[in-house]
A and B are shown apart, each in its own frame.
Chain A
Amino acid sequence: MATALQVSCLAAEEDGLTVFIGPSLLKTYQSVAPQFETLSKAEVNSDETPRTIKAFCEAPREDQKLLIISRKLSLNEMRNCEKEEARMVGLQLSQYLIAPASNSSSLAFDLDAKTFYLAIAEEVPRSAIAASNLPSRKRSELLNSTADALIHNPFVTWRDIDASLPNIEINLLVPDGGTAKIIVDKRLLEAGCRGFNEIKRIFVAEARIRTCTQYRADDHVVFTDGALFLDSRMDLLLAKKPTIGFIRYPELLGGGVTPLKLNGTTPLDLKFNAKKYPASESISIYFFTQAVFGKGPSQEATPTGSSLAELLSEEMIGPEGAFQKGGFFPLNQKERNDLRAILRTVRGLGAVGVN
Chain B
Amino acid sequence: MTDELLPSDEDIRALMQKNGRKISSPHFENAVMNKIKNEEDFRTEVLKGLKISFYFFITALMIGIAYFLWTIFSQLSHDFLSPVFLIIGLFIFLVVGMVNTDNYHRVISTFSSTKSFVR
Q: Do A and B come from one complex?
A: no
Chain A interfacial positions (CB closer than 8 Å to B): none
Chain B interfacial positions (CB closer than 8 Å to A): none
